[in-house]
Structure 1
Amino acid sequence: MNTIEYAKTVLNELEHTLLSIDTKNAEQFVELVDQANEIFCAGAGRSGFQVKGFAMRLMHMGKKSYVVGETCTPNIKEDGILVICSGSGETKSLVNHAQKAKEVGAKLALITINPESTIGKMADVVIEISAPSPKSAKEGQIKSIQPMGSLFEQSEGLFMDIAIMMLMEKNHMDSDTMFGRHANME
């Protein structure tokens, strides 16, 4: 295949995953994030990279957002929400974070392939992404030409960007307003 053929196939895969996300769950996700006093974001590997981008965009909106594990991340409280990105929903460190969030009474949102996972069962809202991953219980049921969990990781990133757009609309914000909070020490 050439680059155009690969691009068309990847775009078709992304269209499938993004259009299969439950709209009510997406709206609930946006509402929980919007209502939270502080938003804590966690993920491992490439999912961790994606959720860091979400935390950054929340900061651009003026929200108190943090990445779990960073030195300057405070403790989560009952008026916070923990957003976890995990294809399997079983990553041990993320399960521990989810348990701690629930112990203090915080909300928990999971973006995953596996809504029946350990974290999924604890979550207040689950965003299911229908993508294959070597660590998923659905391995082999969903096909992708992309390696490993690439389709999931791309889809979760795009879903979080869509959630940001929904938050922007809800809070009457635009890119110009948000750009005022963009880093100026690059």
Structure 2
Amino acid sequence: MITAYAQGGHMEQAKSLFEEAPDLNEVACMAMIDGYASNGCVEEAKDLFERLPNKDVVAWNSMMCAYASNGHLDEALDSFQEMAHRNEISWATMIHMLASINHLENPQFIVDRMPHESKMACTALLAAYLWNVHLQEAMSLFRAPNSSFQEESLVSETRHHCHPDDRIALLALERMPEQDLVSHTQC
């Protein structure tokens, strides 16, 4: 219910329901942080985040996304750097954020420092190049010997963020292990 109220822009009702809960659980807290973020209430999200007794990777990702989605890019980067543990979502979010401001030197820097290869992060980096029309870099990354991508996502991203040169979308489609009607209609 908290999420439904928040998505509808009814943060007072969401907050009231949250405060009436007998115990503070992680799911309700994340719903409130996400609700605050989606309604532009970054300070409220931060206040709740700071009150969390145990800040796991989900909480850190939620707060980092709250900052990034509201244009607080320095705070998002600070959150990323403060995280004790990062998962694929952490890495992909940071790449996406840097791409949104066309700061493409840093996304590659971040990927180079990842502890293990992540399909999600590599796909985010490729999408970042495409969003900012850096097709040469995108093709180089795509053709790298050990490149690993979420082909289905890549086909969709290239169709939505690329100019009429659809070579990457078609190459991604060819690499998909199973092609179905949905993947073909993306191209």
**TM interval, short-chain normalised:** under 0.3
Normalising by structure 1, we get a TM-score of 0.26
Comparing both chains, which one has the higher relative contact order based on Cα–Cα distances under 8 Å and sequence gaps of 6 or more? 1
Higher helix residue share: 2
Larger Rg: 2
Structure richer in strand, relative to its length: 1
Structure-2-length-normalised TM-score: 0.26
